[in-house]
Amino acid sequence: MDSLGYSSQLLSLLFLFFSISASATPFNIPRLGVGTTRRTWQHDQPQTTSSSSDTEDFKTFYYTQPLDHFNYRPDSYTTFQQRYLINSKYWGGADSNAPIFAYLGAEESLDVDFSIIGFLNDNALQFKALQLYIEHRFYGKSIPSGSMKEALKNESTRGYFNSAQALADYAAVLLHVKKNLSAENSPVIVIGGSYGGMLAAWFRLKYPHIVLGSLASSAPILYFEGIAPQVGYYSIVTKDFKETSQSCYETIRQSWAEIDRVASTPHGLSTLSKRFNTCGQLNTSDDLKDYLDSIITSAAQYNHPPEYPVSVICRAIDGAAVGNDTLGQIYAGVVADKGNQSCYDVNEFNYPTETNEGWKWQKCSEMVMPIGHDSNGSMFPPSPFNLNEFINDCKSLYGVQPRPHWVTTYYGGRVCSSKLFLYDDSFGAN
């Protein structure tokens, strides 16, 4: 099977984790990845997007969705328009009970997803499948009121921005589409990646009468406190670099203290700004460390052929060893990863994009994942996940106490285990 999405643009979609280097706020990471905070690859094409569908094969629809599937209060009957797209190019039709592949949208507009998620289109011909892409509520064209920013300000409705409601949306759209196409006997397979993969797994557990199967790609469904022993996200990032090059790992490991040392000297921040060619003057050494943290973690998370960004970074760091100090080597790694830019924007991963803002709410209200710098063998400075700090940050942002996922969701069934997130052969390669 091919990858879920083979294009490197997919990156943005999977940017699920951000964390922090040494600073206090848990929200300043990439867009991880989830950070559209998105990783851009303009400098290292060529792209392999051929497997995704052509835009003209898609038809756009809107479904009138109740804001609240689970209560009977007056405002539960408020509705919004939810976008979905259908590509029936390869569909064998209802008469032959040909299947439906349904992509469950995640923390991103479908505008990005549908053209780059290769998995459905790659397999649709063989299975004569209908392709259906459903946008997640509150993203893209499926926002109940105006923009993401406005929707998150609206205290009476933002509580409906959660995974249980999103799953119920998907159930409603799937039933509607099947009925409309008289395809009641067509089996449905739901598909998602990262957070969307978590949704796909949960969907099969919660709505087994609607879907025959579920493909959850790189879905960290057990990465919640109290559910399974945690494999540290940053330990895996460290392992990736260490396996690629021991000396590269050592250089990165030493660089944080070196940055702090230089920052504490007179005009230290100005020196660092010059050495890293930052677009604006650094205000704290965390500005730089968080930026480097984001580059390093997204390289590991999306260590995707043909570029293999971890190798690219390490080759540059190791290659600059002679004649450069630690900071010069790290800067060489930045240039290799980001390309030759006139300057480097250390805020690149933190802009308030729709994905960053929406996912911040989701992390704060429900998707509380204990991601921190563990101290054991990590090349990052120790900074373990601190739940109380996290909760306090969320309270100050939204004025509400998070009600984390392990309380609210459904682990009654047996959850099949899932690879933890980082790119590996089973996730992506042909």
Ligand X SMILES: *[C@@H]1O[C@H](CO)[C@@H](O)[C@H](O)[C@H]1NC(C)=O
The residues of the shown chain that bind ligand X, judged by CB under 6 A, are: 61, 78, 144-145, 154, 156-157, 177, 180-181, 280-283, 287, 320, 322-324, 328, 331-332, 335, 340, 342, 346-347, 376-377
Please, what is the minimum distance in Å from the beta carbon of residue 237 to ligand X?
Answer: 14
Among residues 219 and 422, whose Cβ is nearest to ligand X?
A: 422
Among residues 80 and 202, whose Cβ is nearest to ligand X?
A: 80
Rounded CA-CA distance 37/40 in Å is 9
Q: Which residues contact 57 (CB under 8 A, 6 or more apart)?
A: 87, 89
User: Do 34 and 15 contact (CB within 8 A), yes or no?
Assistant: yes
Structure token digits, residue 89: 């190019």
Among residues 343 and 429, whose Cβ is nearest to ligand X?
A: 343
Q: Supply the angle between the helices 309-319 and 326-338 in degrees, to the nearest 10.
A: 140
Among residues 60 and 96, whose Cβ is nearest to ligand X?
A: 60
Please, what is the minimum distance in Å from the beta carbon of residue 407 to ligand X?
Answer: 26
Among residues 202 and 241, whose Cβ is nearest to ligand X?
A: 241
Among residues 49 and 154, whose Cβ is nearest to ligand X?
A: 154
Structure token digits, residue 272: 């660092």
Q: In this structure, what are the phi and psi dihedrals at residue 278, rounded to the nearest 5 degrees?
A: -75, 150
Q: What is the maximum span of the chain, computed from C-alpha positions, in angstroms?
A: 76
Q: Which residue is nearest to ligand X (CB)?
A: 323
Among residues 7 and 157, whose Cβ is nearest to ligand X?
A: 157
Q: In this structure, what are the phi and psi dihedrals at residue 414, rounded to the nearest 5 degrees?
A: -85, 125
Helix or strand run (H / E) with residue 388: helix 387-398
Structure token digits, residue 348: 């690149």
Rounded CA-CA distance 385/272 in Å is 28
Rg (CA), the chain: 22
- One DSSP character per residue, 115-162 reads HH-HHHHHHHHHHT-EEEEEPPTTSTT--SSSSHHHHHH-TTTGGG-S
Please, what is the minimum distance in Å from the beta carbon of residue 340 to ligand X?
Answer: 4
Please, what is the minimum distance in Å from the beta carbon of residue 368 to ligand X?
Answer: 21
Rounded CA-CA distance 320/199 in Å is 44
Please, what is the minimum distance in Å from the beta carbon of residue 324 to ligand X?
Answer: 4
Angle at 137 between CA 111 and CA 406, to 5 degrees: 120
Please, what is the minimum distance in Å from the beta carbon of residue 41 to ligand X?
Answer: 17
Among residues 54 and 75, whose Cβ is nearest to ligand X?
A: 75
Please, what is the minimum distance in Å from the beta carbon of residue 383 to ligand X?
Answer: 16
Please, what is the minimum distance in Å from the beta carbon of residue 176 to ligand X?
Answer: 7
Among residues 340 and 417, whose Cβ is nearest to ligand X?
A: 340
Instruction: Compute, in degrees rounded to 10, the torsion defined by CA atoms 409, 413, 418, 420.
Output: 30
- CA dihedral (305, 33, 10, 3) positive or negative: positive
Please, what is the minimum distance in Å from the beta carbon of residue 6 to ligand X?
Answer: 28
